[in-house]
Amino acid sequence: MEGFRTIYKYSDKLDSYVIKRITIQFLQDQTKNAKGNLITFRPSKIAQDLSIYSRKDIRAKTVMIRGFLDELVHRGYIAVIKRSARGKVYGLYRTGKLWDLLERYETDKVLEILESEKLQ
């Protein structure tokens, strides 16, 4: 079992809160620079842009990011634009509630709002 690698091996470096915070920061940067009505992205792009992408733990980080994005899809904040062999392409619309939250509040406040809505 020693050689068996799981996502929990990396939990001391990147817990779920840090992954969520990094994802929200990425989305905030994208909304600030957006010119259209839709932002599209993949989990691997979030990992790359925030310099946490390395060959050793690529799978663990993208799985954690994908889990958070799927949670946001389930709750209606973002949408799955396309599914392909390379995975899902997620989209954030300007008319959506999350876009307003990202423009209006700081990263930690957005996470607090998302977590409080999750509990209700």
Domains, the chain, in order of start with CATH, read 8-119 (1.10.10.10)
CA 92 to each of CA 30, 51, 57, 117: distance values in angstroms, whole numbers, following the listed order: 10, 22, 27, 18
Helix (H, G, I), strand (E, B) or coil at 41: strand
Q: What is the pLDDT along the chain (120 residues), one digit of tens a residue?
A: 444 444 444 444 457 788 888 899 999 999 998 999 999 999 988 887 665 544 556 677 788 889 999 999 999 999 999 998 888 999 999 999 999 999 999 999 999 999 888 766
DSSP 93: E
**Model pTM above 0.85:** no
Helix axis angle, 97-104 relative to 107-119, nearest 10°?
A: 140
**Most distant CA pair in the chain, distance:** 50
